[in-house]
Amino acid sequence: MIITYTQDDGTVERIDTDALSALEAAAIEEAMDDVPWRAIEARLQAQDPTALRAIVWAVRRREQPALKFADFDVPGWRRRLKARLTRDEIGDALTNIMTEALSKNEDSMIDAVAPHLRKLADDPADVDRCLDDLGKGHLTRREKESAD
């Protein structure tokens, strides 16, 4: 997952959660009252302010080891912090959805989730690429045709 943090001057800092160390992830879990990492990832997808702030805090501690989570704040977090999905995460989600859709022989599940994945994606075009990789590129074309 990519966390974007828009600075006061408009520059955007990108933090890849895959680049966090195990100790940083454990510190985040502890700072969030022992919330397990899997739940933190779900909260990031939901744009939870505490989870977003915790990721930035962990990275800031690399330069400021004494920085306390309770003292770290991001004013205007709603416009400045965003969690975005990577292409691998989109591919995993679509693979899981496709497995279930194939068992029911329907594409409607993929049709329903694709717009949501585009909204969360770091690069919305990754959704179309992943659909092509899964042999479901026709869903992308069908969506584009209905928009015209």
pLDDT tens track for 87-138: 999 989 888 887 776 666 566 777 888 888 999 999 999 998 988 887 777 6
Q: What pLDDT, on a 0 to 100 scale, did the predictor assign at position 73? A: 96
Q: What is the pLDDT of residues 34-92, one digit of tens each?
A: 999 999 999 999 999 999 999 999 999 999 999 999 999 999 999 999 999 999 999 89
- Alpha-carbon span 99 to 81, nearest angstrom: 32
| pTM, full prediction | 0.71
Q: How far is the C-alpha of 128 from the C-alpha of 81, rounded, in Å? A: 25
Say which residue, 113 or 15, is predicted with more confidence: 15
Q: What is the dihedral of CA 92, 110, 122, 53, to 10 degrees?
A: -80
